[in-house]
Structure 1
């Protein structure tokens, strides 16, 4: 398995994986993914199996301490010098799940954020994933103000 960051050439593959991993109301559109890759492709961690995209983690960097719904819509809010690495999605295609690939990508995102001198990482997740992210050091801060996809989200933070 190879891990690398995203380029414009990866947009269609990323959009396909996103559509396999999230319900339509929660999934980013191809257009949103294209804007994100253009703005912060170096904050997309892609895992490939012999050239096939099987998993990815992505998110912008910002000085905002909390992840807001506006961030999903506005890739131009990315600030490469920002203090917080946001995680918008942890995606693994169904046939590759339960093999630790997402965990490898999360660890890579954490290591890169630490190396880049960030304060930490922030993500939101559904109740069933709180314990999963806690294994990586994320602490649950409670229910987020996010209404993304009309779902209840918990905000989790890993502070260095």
Structure 2
């Protein structure tokens, strides 16, 4: 398997994987991904098998210590020199889950953030996934202000 960053040529594949992983109310659209790819393609970590994207992690860089809902739809809020690597989505196609693929991508994103001199990584997750992210060193900061997709989210922080 190969880990790489994204290009605009990956737009359809990213959109399809996202749709397989998130409910419609929470999933990024093709337009969302197109805007993100125009501004921060190097903040998409893709894992391929036989040329097919089977898992990916993506998110902008920000100086804010938590993710605001506006960030999902407004790629122009990205700050390449920001303190925090936000993780918007951790996506793995259902047939490829429970193989450690998402963990490889989370680790790659964190390593890149550390190398870039960032303070750490931030994400939001549902309560059932708190323990998963804690395995990677993320700490639960409590219920998020985010109401993205009408769900209850928890802010998680991995500080270097």
Taking structure 2 as the reference length, the TM-score comes to 0.99
Deviation at 1:6, TM superposition (A): 0.4
- Distance in 2 separating the partners of 1:38 and 1:5: 13
1:129 aligns with 2:137: no
Specify every segment of 5 or more residues in structure 1 that has no aligned partner in the other structure, as ranges. none
SS at match of 1:42: helix
Counterpart mapping for 1:3-18 below 5 A: 3-18=3-18
Specify every segment of 5 or more residues in structure 2 that has no aligned partner in the other structure, as ranges. none
- Tell me the C-alpha RMSD between the 2 structures: 0.4
Counterpart mapping for 1:36-51 below 5 A: 36-51=36-51
Count of aligned positions: 160
Deviation at 1:64, TM superposition (A): 1.2
Residue equivalent to 2:154: 154
1:97 aligns with 2:97: yes
Deviation at 1:131, TM superposition (A): 0.2
Deviation at 1:65, TM superposition (A): 1.4
Residue equivalent to 1:72: 72
Taking structure 1 as the reference length, the TM-score comes to 0.99
Deviation at 1:4, TM superposition (A): 0.2
Runs of 4+ aligned structure 1 residues displaced above 4 Å come to none
- Distance in 1 separating the partners of 2:24 and 2:72: 14
Deviation at 1:36, TM superposition (A): 0.6
- Distance in 2 separating the partners of 1:136 and 1:113: 14
Q: 1:41-87: CA deviations, max 9, x gaps? A: 10000000010000000000011111100100100000100010000
